[in-house]
Amino acid sequence: MSEHHHHDHGTEQVSDKVLLWTTFVNIGLSVFEFIAGAIAGSVALMADALHNTNDAAALLIAYIARKVSRKGADEKFTFGYRRAELIGAMIQLTALILVGLYLVYEAIRRFFSPEPLEGGWIMAAAGVALFVDVVTAWLLWSMSKGSMNVKAAFLHNLTDAGASVAVLVGGATIYFWGWNWVDPILTLLIAGYILYMSLGMLRTTCRILMEGAPPDLSMEQVQATMMDVPGVEGIHHLHVWELDEHHQALEAHVVVKRSQADHDHELNIRRALKQRLQERHSIQHCTLELEYPGDPCGSSTNNLIEHE
């Protein structure tokens, strides 16, 4: 199920090093922006620093996940270690939402109690941040072609560059025209973006951990696909869930016609079901229990479908 990890052995270790170095670079940038924000008195700069801290954490999680995922399944974790990344993401996103709410509070407070700002420091720090964001995006660009996870990090880094441009422009307005009110407005915009992205990712993470069905999958279409296989008379106890964001699994009880109850027909039905589910719905892992009409079933027969 993880064949996409093996198509580029020559660059695998290089990719790991790139992820690790971009993590260190973003951590360094965050520390620098925190210090510069404190000196300049800019909440927007601190908000951008927190945003970069989140990026560094995301890159570190991606790096650790690549290492952990290579362990594969064992006796204690028979499904493998894929969801370690989800647990890390849950912790990270929860903390980020709290940070976003604090930034909203701090921005509103600055409207009523403005503080002096150093526009020159804000411009300098935002310029450094923009440079680092562009370099990080460049480093991730070649890796993004073979990994959806890294592609998401690459696109996220481009949006960071946009936030740095906004802070840079805000610093210029403060430096040249003394518009200190721009800083809390930028803070609200960055905090709003952080909350919007975090809440959306948190919903996705919770759905996977709760073994919810993939959002773009129609259970009715899945049932129809299975019922179209010759010899299938009914489906019940149908469950579809995500092992992680890239792998889907299905289990079901399949009622087959007793007239076709020999071993070869069972193998053909099972093979046809798995092939169609893979081709039409990208479900890679299927566990199918074949039954015959009238056989006792250990669970209630909810979701039973019969031919008209």
pLDDT tens digits, one per residue of 135-176 = 877 777 766 554 545 565 665 666 677 777 888 888 888 888
For residue 257, the model assigns a pLDDT of 82
- Residue 155, domain member (yes or no): yes
Lowest mean pLDDT among 89-93, 103-107, 148-152, 229-233: 148-152
- Cα-Cα end-to-end distance for the chain: 36
Do 8 and 157 fall into the same domain?
yes
Dist CA 115 CA 241 (whole Å):
51
In a domain, 62, yes or no: yes
Q: Look at the chain and count its residues.
A: 308
Q: Name the residue range of residue 57's domain.
A: 3-209
Give pLDDT tens digits for 38-61.
Answer: 888 888 888 878 777 877 777 777
Question: Same structural domain for residues 159 and 259?
Answer: no
Q: What is the pLDDT of residues 202-221, one digit of tens each?
A: 888 888 888 888 888 899 99
Q: Is the pLDDT of residue 307 over 90?
A: no
The reply to whether 139 and 13 lie within a common domain is yes
- Both 201 and 131 in a single domain? yes
* Alpha carbon distance 90, 208 (integer Å): 11
How many structural domains compose the chain? 2
Task: Tell me the pLDDT band of 250, cut-offs 50, 70 and 90.
Answer: very high
Task: Give pLDDT, residue 77.
Answer: 81
Q: What is the pLDDT of residue 261?
A: 56
49 and 191 share one domain: yes
Q: Are residues 199 and 252 in the same domain?
A: no
Q: What percent of the chain has pLDDT over 70?
A: 82
> Is residue 187 a part of any domain in this protein?
yes
User: b/e map of 5-30 (b: 16 or more CB within 10 Å)?
Assistant: eeeeeeeeeebeebbeebbebbbebb
CA distance 151 to 167: 25
* pLDDT for res 112: 84
For residues 270, 272, 274, 275, the Cα torsion angle rounded to the nearest 10 degrees is 160
Q: Are residues 128 and 267 in the same domain?
A: no
Boundary residue ending a domain (176, 209, 242): 209
H-helix segments, the chain: 9-40, 43-69, 84-112, 119-144, 148-177, 182-209, 219-227, 263-281
* Residue 308: predicted pLDDT: 34
CB 248 within 8 A of CB 214: yes
Could you say which of 183, 209, 235 is where a domain stops?
209
Given 159, 190, 209, which residue is the final one in a domain? 209
For the entire predicted model, the pTM comes to 0.68
| 225 and 204 in a common domain | no
The verdict on residue 60 lying in a domain is: yes
* Amino acid letter for position 138: W
Q: Is residue 119 part of a domain?
A: yes
214 within a domain of the structure (yes/no): no
DSSP secondary structure letter of residue 260: G
130 and 199 in one domain? yes
Whether residues 168 and 224 share a domain: the answer is no
What pLDDT, on the 0 to 100 scale, is given for residue 151?
Answer: 60
Separation of alpha carbons 236 and 2, rounded Å: 29
Q: Is residue 242 one of the residues assigned to a domain?
A: yes
Out of 54-68, 84-98, 127-141, 144-158, least confident range? 144-158
Segment 219-248 shows an average pLDDT of 89
Q: What is the CATH number of the domain that holds 110?
A: 1.20.1510.10
Q: DSSP letter for 4, please.
A: G
Average predicted confidence (pLDDT) for the chain = 78
Domain with residue 283: its CATH number is 3.30.70.1350
pLDDT digit string, tens, across residues 265-276: 788 889 999 999
Q: How confident is the model at residue 11 (pLDDT cuts 50, 70, 90)?
A: very low
In this structure, the answer to whether residues 60 and 195 fall within a common structural domain is yes
- What average pLDDT does this structure show over 239-245? 84
Q: Output the DSSP codes for 49-105.
A: HHHHHHHHHHHHHHHHHHHHHTT---SS-TT-STTHHHHHHHHHHHHHHHHHHHHHH
Residue 304 has pLDDT above 50, yes or no: no
**Same domain membership, residue 231 and residue 195:** no
Are the CB atoms for 182 and 170 separated by under 8 Å?
Answer: yes
Q: Establish if 45 belongs to a structural domain.
A: yes
